[in-house]
Structure 1
Amino acid sequence: PRMGQAQLAEYLQKYTLRDVKGIPDPDSLVDSLLGADVPEANVVYPPIEPLAKYAGGAGLLNLGYGGDRYVRTEPLVLRYGDSYLPSFSLMMAARNRHLATRSIEVRLGDAVTLDDYVIPSDRELRIYPHFYRGRKDQPAFRTYSILDVINRQVESSAFRGKTVLVGLTARQHVSPMITPIGEVMPPVMVTANTVSSLLNDELYSVPVWATLARLLALAGIALYLMFFLPRLRLGTGLAITALLGIGLLNVHFYYMISESIWIKLMTPLLALVVGHLAINAKHYLEHSLRSIHQELSAANRALGQSFQAQGQLDQAFEMYRKVEADESVLNHLYNLGLDYERKRQFNKAVAVFKYIAAQQPDYSDVLERIQRTQQVSDALLGGGSQMGGAAAANGTLVISTTGVQKPMLGRYEIDKELGRGAMGMVYLGHDPKIGRTVAIKTMSLAQEFEGDKLADVKARFFREAETAGRLNHPNIVTIYDVGEDQDLSYIAMDYLKGDNLLAWCKPDNLLPAVEVIDLMIQVADALDYAGRQNVVHRDIKPANIIYDQAS
């Protein structure tokens, strides 16, 4: 349940933890990303009110239902709605120290404290108990039948000075839980191991450096698998992998047995084994497929020539890319790029020439052709049918040729160029239907990205424009429209008169101090408003601040 949706009955409120610090704010973006919390209890089955009235404490207990049968850790604190509840094991440890629920101090993301005893736990306040092995098929903890106790067949002295847990142990009545030592235990025996570890201070600790060590081990294994193993012979690689695996196991068990520190090195070990098998399988497959690739190469070249002769240039390019790029294939690709130019598909021609340059940078005049064709492609990117192919070669939508209608971008008519940046340009335009003058910022996303990456960038571009469009502040430019035309993404915004502050950043053209302070106040007010709307401007600089001294 979410915070506020689940509530405990009134008679159970006394069993909730009161001294809880560091509770994350659900409305805070920072807390939602960086804040620490504890596991949630979706459903709780509380004791009935007559029983709870006489109980000295109550805590949550995992009975192994719902498929959660593997136990390695136990959370000391769980959240149920707005309430934080102790685990049963934590309450047993507290009562053993003669402490009530209200005496338990909880610092979310840090630790749980009983008086001066700080319980070793991880960031989610989970403990790692020690599980004890029994002897001669007997459990580590002595068990008694409840019938024997009721019938007084067990002396009361057997329980004197002991912590006694009452629970079901018959397999037909419980959901057995699987422990790290390989033994299957009923929930009450799992709790006994946990409580004993707490009382005897035999918990495994997971210090901060243990997490760092695991990450470093993963990074080291990744580097070994990516850069070293592929260069080794089969036998040498197998020997080094075995030594690394033995080293990880030794470190893991040394710290667990000698220092009671649990470093999670099984994940790096698994990554090492799986990665080694995968790389060797890859080498075997590459060797087997190399002969097949050579046979297919000649067939793909013939198909590429056939497609090119039929004018199916995209299919021809696909076939040529499957062939090893020798001199003959590069010649075919170069002619393919020329064919794309003849069909005025300049962006595809650029892709072909760039592919050639990647294979052989000094091939013919391919580098010069990339530059020339890219300029024409940029010029025609937004023109499409509106320009009729008469766009200027300087990459702008604005055309100086007489007799040509002004280009359109969406429903806006382009009047002139205002400026240009690394990935786009800014134009002055207007909406012919309502006569509104706007500044239009364009971005040639299709020239920079493709496939799934292009779709992701476009979605992020429109999402950020939508976010900015919700802002309504006198010192923030108003967003009127956002769209896409001929693979050219654009944002239409209010056209602001004046210049950016760079004009007043020169020593001989500085603004008076009063004006500077006034500008700072207005900019700070705008940023404060945006911040309260969960919008962060990540590029505040004089060039992005427009100032009209006349107004």
Structure 2
Amino acid sequence: MKTAARKIPDWAAGGVVALLVMLALAFDWSSFMKLEYLTYDLRSTLRQKKVSTPVVIVGVDEVTIEKLGPLPLPRTYMAEMVRKLREYEAKTIGVGFIYSKSESENDRGLSALREIMGKIDKDPTTPRVAGIQKALVEAEHSLNTDPVFAGAIENSKNVVLPLSFYLTDNVAAEEDAKPPTADYVMKNSVKTDGKGTFLTARGIVLPIREFADKAHALGHLNIVPDSDGIVRSEPPLILYKDRLFPSFAFQLALAYKGLGISEITIIGGIKAAKALTIPLDKSGRMLISYTGKASSSPYYSFLDVMNGKIPAAMFKDKIVLVGLTADGGGAVNKTPLRSNYNNIEIVAQAVENILNSNHITRPWWLTYVELPVMLLFWGIIAFLIPRVKTVAGAVIAGVVLIAWGIICIYLFYSQGLWVKMSYPALVLFFGYIAVVSRQLLLGEDKTTSADTSETNKMLGLSLQGQGQLDAAFEKFRKCRLEDATTRELLYNLGQDFEQKGMQSKAQAVYEHIISAGDYKGLSDKLKKLKTTGEKAAPAVQPQESEATIMMMEGTGTKSTLGRYEVLRELGRGAMGVVFLGKDPKINRDVAIKTLSYDEIDSEQIVEIKTRFFREAEAAGKLSHPNIVRVYDVGEDKNVAYMAMELLEGTDLARYCAKDSRLPFGEVLRVVTRVGEALDYAHQNGVVHRDIKPANIMLLNNKELRVTDFGIARVMESSKTQTGMVLGTPSYMSPEQIAGRKVDGRSDLFSLGVVFFELLLGERPFKGDSIATLMYNITSTPPTPIKKIEPRIPNCVVEIIDKLLQKNAEDRYSRGKDLLDAINKCKKTLVKRPAPPAQ
């Protein structure tokens, strides 16, 4: 390995990295773009500023829907709003609802009325029938509200309506059959000259013709997020059937300036008279400059405007956008500043950008600036970093990286220039790693970082806790001996080797410790060890009692443990062998768990037996429908055993994969039952310590059982521990990993991990190694649930987040609090559909 590393020069090590990043920049590789988007969003938060905008939002909010009825609001209300805004001298009115032909307000009552009128027309024989016919005609006019709204649009002469496009191939044939040729469509689009790149549509959804004919202008209302789901741009033009259609925001800006779509030119961007210019990126989009987390436009409730509570001066000479703002009433969008921007707010922001020339731009020539910067950074890592000490090299790389970041942030903030900051930074970062790694392989740098040392300590403790002492020694050897904690850990490890009769291995540990100086009189102790010699380590064999049981099974002779007949072996667990047994007194099948003494020091056997019976007795006193029942404990043939309820079903581990998850409602039921069991056990002074899917059984009759209560505590004391508690790493709480005292809140953390995994088919904390996993559990937040499955209700997300808090004080204080939260959540879910079955 060292020879191969020596053949690779520093310039090549950094050059490969630089070449790969340049290719990623040239081809917009998605993984690199996601990182760049993160830096873009950070810069967007810094660019927030107050602006003056002529846009006003009239929002159909929750109060409006409550008072005026559900969506869509009747056309009469919309017509009244348009008339009122015209009286208030609004310069341009944008109605942010798409009234397509499928949304005509001709309801069943109007259809039935017209059917009756048709029958009367065939036989108008009496004056009385003629009177009825007249009344029906009047009723028809009152029910048919489309002409009312169309008349308001026509009289106002300044209403802009939206249309929509299908941007995928999943389009109905009738929508895609031929180009739209209606006059109102043609006058709101321009024929393309084939220059430029724009989003291409596959189908179009047009407003009702009666409305569209009367509207001042039409514009598309397509909100198009980036690949990571965040809206950073607006497509001012969309190409459909050789014609370019302007956006809703673009048409509003044109109408406000007294311009038409026919007056624009497209040369590297969009230009129109009266100083209206829109810069476009290479995909034909306009980057949106969000001015703040709150909308930059004044906002008024639709109901308040209708009731005349808002002064007319608020709307005079303004662009007034009427749209949906109620929470949960329509689509919401993630933006760099906020995750719940509604469509009308994004339109308002885009209109402000166009009218104020408040733009974020990425000119084509910026790529030719970023490439030389990458080459410069490659030169630094290839020719400067290798010639200085490691610490000095890290300082140089850090200073250059910070300087580059400041430049990019300044240009973005002050000039609105989007320089792709992450690409040159990646060349510097990964190039530095490549060069330093080469030095480490050649032995040019012996420094072990503090972070690496701490990781090896944690991993060593984990291995030591599992009895893998040799592997633990290998991890501890990688830690810095100057650290007093490292010497203490090694000292404890040496004592563990001594207790197991492995004097030569203990001697190797002690020699390693004193290579950094004497510690706790180890020099004298080493002399004694060398004269004594290593004792032979006994081979691990099955206990005599276990061997006897297996031999009797082979001969056909019935074997017993206490009064129970041993029928066959079911498996082997952490404690020992698990047998299928039968209680001959009542002819009941039982599961018999035995305690193995294989890895227990002879001096500890009495203590462990005592603890086993004490914990088994505590578990046996737990009488709860969701806790496995313990029938009996005893000792026979020098084996401690526990007779338990025999369960027919499967554990939850099989339901933790994405393709085999339980339905949403069943997951809530399972977590509720486990929560009830844990609350009962905790109130009776019993902490499980090893809650995981494998210890939760879903029986064939749909009942639930939590198994192995008290077992984890027995096993904790049956193996040598040094600041470590036995458990399944993926489900351990931070306090378990740290070796601190645990209580019921530790079980609730583990239940939170199980809850997460059952819902999403993956665990909240991951790691390529045990050390990384343990670090992530104690130090990093869990994977955001909404990022994996946005449909999970917010109340469920809040429950899991509280269960997975690092600090036990921040979790639910007991299981009952968790159950109360779940029940409250269920009540809110009754009001709206739960996520579909997985």
- TM-score bracket, shorter-length normalisation: 0.3 to 0.5
The higher-RCO structure (CA 8 Å, 6+ apart) is 2
Please report the TM-score for the alignment, with normalisation by the length of structure 2.
0.30
**Which of the two has greater helix per residue?**
2
